[in-house]
Amino acid sequence: MQIPLLHRRLATLVGLCLLLLAASGFIPKSPTDTGSPADAEPTLAPGPSSSVESLLQPAAETTNLAETAEPAIDRSKRHRATVKNGDNMATIFASHGFSARTLHALTQTEHGRVLDDIFPGAELILESNEQLLTSLTYQPGPLESVVFTSTGEGGFTSEERFAEPAKALTYKHGIIDNSLFLTSQSVGLPDNLTMRIAQIFQWDIDCVLDIRPGDEFFALYEEHYLDDEFIGYGDILAARFVNQGRAYTAVRYTNETGSADYFDSEGLSMRKAFLRAPVEFSRISSSFNLRRKHPLYKTVTPHRGIDYAAPRGTPILAAGDGKVEQASRTKANGNYVVIKHGEQFVTKYLHLSKFARNIKTGKRVKQGQTIGYVGATGYATGPHLHYEFLVNGVHQNPRTVKLPQAQPVPQREIARFQKRTFTNILLLDHFRDQAALASASR
């Protein structure tokens, strides 16, 4: 859908106001929100420069209340223990001088079963008075805890508690010189976020074959804090990738039914109905070429597909949802699979070492599902996948063919989509302008 120009202008104005507010120092730190709906978009605005991050950092020092608040003569004690490999509650209790009977009482409570199987790395806080356990807190992770409290008569009650992390927005920008991962690391973006960015754009950009020096990325994402302590990364809310001069923008949107996915600014899915390449981390050993001279016979023998060289056994993925039309073997093709995707599209996969389990004629497959493994069966000089992509029966170059989109944001939800994502797109634009300014003034 086209947004009327006036609306866009209005939107831009509102956005500018937001950014001005931000520039004037109105930088709210997101509160430890416990009551907000799960899909509420964070409302942080950026600072005027890339100092957003430092502004969003939590206060550095936290005091350990447990230790400082302890009166000198009190007989109560508080111990913290981290569960190690091979630990169980019995050994921990024994080492702290608590009885097996106390442990038994704990396990009889509503949440007592969690103590049967404690995780290495989990935290335990044991509080006691005169050698009697008054409370036990078990924390399998930073956001979850189970608290057992003594009833005073040898029994305990238990309660499960969940903490909501404080979310802070941050962003990173990198200009790639050689490797996406090296550049990401150099600007402080952790590998798992880089991987997620690569996944968001994987239908448009092959992060092995398409990346060029000078490519740029922008990422706007959440960091989670609990009591001012960093506990992990949240969602990537928006990202932009400039690949060989072309910019791709993606925003995260949680729809009315609560499922989240990435869309471009118009609400089109970042996903395509087809993967660009059916083998990950491979190298093209022979391109699509309808006028190829055969290496041996010197005659024109068109290469109607792409050869992906990859080690024998590398998984081959179904390029899109569809139905297996053939899973068979011929002298030339070796083991091969043909998948039909709706009425228009067919994909073919040749020279497989073997089929994946359950891949048989007539079976349905999902995009990304492993259908077989790279091999060199049939007329093949070495392990590779020969991959063909047909549109209405005509061979097309799988690397350049225009691929159909997956489902967009439905029309009736588009206003909601725009309302919820436009701040994040504005922020991306803002960062891009800053980056351009910074490089211009260098």
Q: Of the listed pieces 108-116, 161-169, 227-235, 304-312, which binds Zn ion according to CB under 5 A?
A: 304-312
Residue 266: left (phi > 0), alpha (psi -120 to 50), or beta? Answer: alpha
Q: Of the listed pieces 115-123, 241-249, 303-311, 367-375, which binds Zn ion according to CB under 5 A?
A: 303-311
User: Closer to Zn ion at the Cβ: 301 or 328?
Assistant: 301
User: Closer to Zn ion at the Cβ: 167 or 386?
Assistant: 386
CB of residue 383 to Zn ion, shortest distance in Å: 12
Beta carbons of 145 and 137 less than 8 angstroms apart: yes
Q: Following DSSP, what letter does each residue of 251-318 receive, concatenated?
A: EEEE-TTS-EEEE-TTS-BS-BSS-S-SSTT-EEEE--BTTPBPTTT-SB--B-SEEEE--TT-EEE-
Q: Of the listed pieces 211-219, 306-314, 396-404, 415-423, which binds Zn ion according to CB under 5 A?
A: 306-314
Alpha carbon of 108 to those of 49, 101, 105, 118, 300: distances in Å?
56, 11, 5, 16, 79
User: Closer to Zn ion at the Cβ: 332 or 415?
Assistant: 332
CB of residue 380 to Zn ion, shortest distance in Å: 8
Find, among 327, 334, 336, 393, the residue nearest to 363 by Cα.
Answer: 327
CA–CA distance, 386 with 308 (Å, rounded to integer): 7
Tokens of 61: 């020092």
Beta carbons of 337 and 371 less than 8 angstroms apart: yes
User: Closer to Zn ion at the Cβ: 50 or 397?
Assistant: 397
Q: Which H or E run includes 236?
A: strand 229-243
CA gyration radius for the chain? 29
Mask: binding to Zn ion, 170-189, rule CB under 5 A, as x and -?
--------------------
The CB-nearest residue to Zn ion is 386
CB of residue 351 to Zn ion, shortest distance in Å: 8
Q: Of the listed pieces 125-133, 302-310, 356-364, 411-419, which binds Zn ion according to CB under 5 A?
A: 302-310
User: Closer to Zn ion at the Cβ: 174 or 334?
Assistant: 334
CB of residue 367 to Zn ion, shortest distance in Å: 22
What are the DSSP E strand ranges found in 342-440? Answer: 345-352, 354-355, 364-365, 370-373, 384-391, 394-396
Residues in the interface with Zn ion (CB under 5 A) total: 2
Tokens of 96: 């702290």
User: Closer to Zn ion at the Cβ: 341 or 386?
Assistant: 386
Mask: binding to Zn ion, 401-440, rule CB under 5 A, as x and -?
----------------------------------------
CA–CA distance, 62 with 191 (Å, rounded to integer): 28
Q: Which of 167, 386, 395, 430 binds Zn ion (CB under 5 A)?
A: 386
Q: Which residues contact 412 (CB under 8 A, 6 or more apart)?
A: none
Mask: binding to Zn ion, 345-384, rule CB under 5 A, as x and -?
----------------------------------------
CB of residue 305 to Zn ion, shortest distance in Å: 5
CB of residue 310 to Zn ion, shortest distance in Å: 13
Q: Which of 215, 222, 307, 388 binds Zn ion (CB under 5 A)?
A: 307
By DSSP bridging, strand 315-317 and strand 370-373 are antiparallel
Alpha carbon of 178 to those of 81, 182, 208, 228, 335: distances in Å?
45, 8, 11, 36, 37
CA–CA distance, 280 with 310 (Å, rounded to integer): 9
Q: Of the listed pieces 34-42, 118-126, 246-254, 386-394, which binds Zn ion according to CB under 5 A?
A: 386-394
Beta carbons of 91 and 149 less than 8 angstroms apart: no
User: Closer to Zn ion at the Cβ: 276 or 386?
Assistant: 386
Q: Following DSSP, what letter does each residue of 35-77 receive, concatenated?
A: SS-TTPPP-----SSTTHHHHHSPPS----HHHHT--SS--EE
Site membership for Zn ion, residue 304 (CB under 5 A): no
Q: Of the listed pieces 2-10, 104-112, 172-180, 300-308, which binds Zn ion according to CB under 5 A?
A: 300-308
Q: Of the listed pieces 98-106, 210-218, 288-296, 301-309, which binds Zn ion according to CB under 5 A?
A: 301-309
CB of residue 379 to Zn ion, shortest distance in Å: 9
Q: Residues interacting with Zn ion, by CB under 5 A?
A: 307, 386
